[in-house]
Chain A
Amino acid sequence: MTMAPANGGVPRPEAGGETSPEKLFTPVLSAFWDEPRPWTLETYLRHDGYAGARKALAMAPDDVIAYVKDSGLRGRGGAGFPTGMKWQFIPQGDGKPHYLVVNADESEPGTCKDIPLLFANPHALIEGMLIASYAIRCDHAFIYLRGETVPVLRRLHEAVREAYAAGYLGRNVLGSGLDLDITVHAGAGAYICGEETALLDSLEGRRGQPRLRPPFPAVAGLYACPTVVNNVESIASVPAILGRGKEWFRSMGSEKSPGFTLYSLSGHVANPGQYEAPLGITLRQLLDVSGGMRPGHRLKFWTPGGSSTPMLTEEHLDVPLDYEAVGAAGSMLGTKALQCFDETTCVVRAVTRWTEFYAHESCGKCTPCREGTYWLVQLLRDLEAGKGRMGDLDKLADIADNINGKSFCALGDGAASPIFSSLTYFRAEYEQHIKGKGCPFDPARSTAWADQSHPEVHV
């Protein structure tokens, strides 16, 4: 029997602190995902479904915007921009159609929250879209779903059909006078379409390449009309805010990062999965209650919100996972995709693979990203194979610096993140590859089945 070291072997700072899972977690979006048919309208209505929309439709649209703004809800797609403020930016009385576009293109490596959310409970999104559309005066909203998730597409088709049949969509919704159509749109495979302006170009039937800003989508978005682009989880969180109140929402999380959110734990952890908790929980707390790293192993590096957020290490286990604290720790909260890698993982291999991804997904519009990611891949492949030279490390940093902040969109910044952060924390490991003329790691030890014959430990 092997004892797994607690939290990667680091003693907890506050013994006896709040670690009971019943108190740590706050299932709201995930509250009834374990019901037999959670995706149906029937189940949703049994759990106060569409109650938030009824409240919203009884308010003035501007008051709904103010309410969501006061709740402090911030975008869950990565950037953390206040959702209500995005809605407020839509010019009213301009005579143009307004559009709501939901970004369901979840493709950031490590990110896996919107897809299970939509698979289990698509009506939370549709109700949120109803509220948002009413608030911004939109009568045609779109769900841009990445195409590679057909099971979710099926559920969305069905949920939209149910919502029309029950009068939550269509003409004069619930007698409010609001007309609302929702079009479910499947993408066709392109990470860049998660960038909001590339998404809009793609939704207009073009290559998904980002647009110059300004003008921002709030002024000239879809078909050059005022458009709100929101992440799935942001919009799906709105019904609960309306239903249970902004004070309830603000009672969770912190002043600047209020509310609940989905944390996605993955990698070399004992129990990967979705954990819904107030903003500000730490990775140590999450690992504490969920079973920690896989038995016998220790956390080496992790991402707080996908591969585009600079990696962190064991020393950051106690960073509150909210927008401010993760930023102060030198990274970004991003999508809360907590990819955890243990000591069997080669960081050079991990970064090389992510960089190959960015090179593959670079849309080619701007030179720093298109050329920079290509050259990063060439250098990294040599380094991983033990064919690198010491000077390559500075060259890596230099190329990353020429991409970061100098590209047309955030994909370039994302590509630079793993490079900078891995050089900061693991430069010695790069040097080891160069001096030893090869990779010192055995990839077989990192696999999910590496310890399979290992006796299981029951609590």
Chain B
Amino acid sequence: MTDVQLGMPQFPAPDYPADVRARLEADAREVIARYPDSRSALLPLLHLVQSEEGHVTATGIRFCAELLELTTAEVTAVATFYTMYRRGPSGDYQVGVCTNTLCAVLGGDAIFETLREHLGVANGGTTEDGRVTLEHIECNAACDFAPVVMVNWEFFDNQTPQSAKDLVDDLRAGRPVQPTRGARLCTFKETARILAGFPDQRPGAVEESGGAGPATLAGLRLARGEGPAARVGPPRGAPAQDGRPARRQEGEE
């Protein structure tokens, strides 16, 4: 008979070692205190257990269930609904390529294919060195910076297949990598802790990459009379001679 796994955790699960349990419990109590009803803390607590082990384990589910007085089935039902909770071990850096329509059309599909070949992993797969997990992701609210790649949920805007290849090479080689919008990268586990509601304590992390990317300021600059950026074509308003788009000349590329 075939054993169908479905990625479901196996119970009963062992508890965390006592010192880990004590540390996580203190954090969890702090999270729970932020809500009028303790169950509201479940999503942050799942981020918290993910910050400990890199994915939501059976032990993590048991921990959430015990602290919130839920069954492990109730916690599992929630953990499996949301895409940000991982069900198995993965890399330090989650590289997510947006392949929703707009990014895909503008090059997200090409970037994803390039990375898949370059890293030799399928969607959701992790490189052998455990550094990079490749995923295609849905629209991440940065369409004016398309095509977009997210690494541990920091923005890498206006990517190309080459820039994305360089990015994952740097990540695998341990070279520092700076997002276009966001702070210098921390590991997936450290990111999960911020998501659990614990502010990033690294000095300067809030400041990094400034207030807004160039596209964010496009309208403001025009309103100030600063004119559009240089890559803009000729002034609009003059109708095309034949009412059809001008075609690129053969051999222009």
Contact = CB atoms under 8 A, between A and B. Distances in A.
Interface of A: 2-12, 15, 19, 21-22, 24-27, 30-31, 33-39, 97, 106-112, 114-116, 119-120, 140, 146-151, 153-155, 157-158, 161, 183-191, 202-208, 223, 263-268, 270-277, 287-292, 294-298, 307, 337, 339, 341, 343, 345, 349-350, 353-354, 357, 360-361, 363, 443-444, 446-449, 451, 453-454, 456-459
Given A33-B217, A34-B212, A290-B222, A108 B139 contact: yes
Interface of A: prevailing SS: loop
B153 A149 contact: yes
B195 A147 contact: yes
9 contacts: A4-B234, A5-B245, A30-B217, A107-B138, A107-B141, A115-B141, A151-B179, A190-B82, A360-B138
B110 interface: yes
Contacts of B209: 151
Interface in B211-253: 211-225, 227-240, 243-249, 252-253
Interface residues of B, number: 103
Residue among B42, B82, B230 with the most chain A CB within 10 A? Answer: B82
B137 interface: yes
A36 B106 CA distance: 31
A272 B212 contact: no
Given A7-B236, A208-B81, A448-B158, A291 B228 contact: yes
B139 A107 contact: yes
Given A10-B239, A112-B143, A349 B100 contact: no
Contacts of A19: 237
Residue among B37, B39, B139, B146 with the most chain A CB within 10 A? Answer: B139
B51 to A, nearest CB: 12
Interface stretch (B12-20, B21-29, B169-177, B198-206): B198-206
B37 A115 contact: no
B90 interface: no
Interface in B147-175: 147, 150, 152-155, 158, 160
Contact of B35 (A97, A183, A360): A183
Contacts of B85: 188-189
B253 A453 contact: yes
Contacts of B240: 3, 5-6, 9
A443 B247 contact: no
Contacts of A223: 36-37
Contact of A112 (B82, B99, B142): B142
Residue among B41, B83, B218 with the most chain A CB within 10 A? Answer: B218
A31 B144 CA distance: 19
